[in-house]
Amino acid sequence: MTTDTNAPGTAWMQIVKKKGTSDFAASFTADASLQTSALSEAVVGPALIGAFFTATSTMYEDFVFTAETVDGAKTYLEWDATHGGKPVAGTTIITRNESGLINNIKLFQSPFPVVREFSSGLQERLAGTLGQDFFS
């Protein structure tokens, strides 16, 4: 188990900043999935994962990674943010395959009332991209 000497989340944010590009997609397997407490179903594929991060990038007033640990194929990130003037805490777990490509992201947020508000905001932003099943 190692801890990155850069600021927590630096490598991950370099990937996320490329959302919507071929460089972003090249970081993932074709069937990569993202599970989050803000959606009812997993988002599958680099294009939809990129759309998710495009939407979420405008939803926080502030966002900071507070810790990062790498253990084998998994990277664990803890973060604090503000959404709608309310504090949010979260954990992002990134799993890579044997080739180093991301094949799974788990993104968990709390507290639940803020997660519900966040999910509603996502639904508005992703109306033409994700179906109603993702929000039921």
Contacts of 117 (CB under 8 A, 6+ apart): 83, 84, 86
* pLDDT for 2: 55
* pLDDT for 6: 86
Q: Would you give per-residue pLDDT tens digits along the chain (136 residues)?
A: 555 568 999 999 999 999 989 999 999 999 999 999 999 999 999 999 999 999 999 999 999 999 999 999 999 999 999 999 999 999 999 999 999 999 999 999 999 999 999 999 999 999 999 999 999 8
pTM exceeds 0.85: yes
Sheet holding 74-83, edge to edge: 43-44, 28-36, 102-110, 86-96, 74-83, 62-71
Looking at the domain 10-128, which fold is it? Nuclear Transport Factor 2; Chain: A, (3.10.450)
Domain definitions of the chain by residue range: 10-128
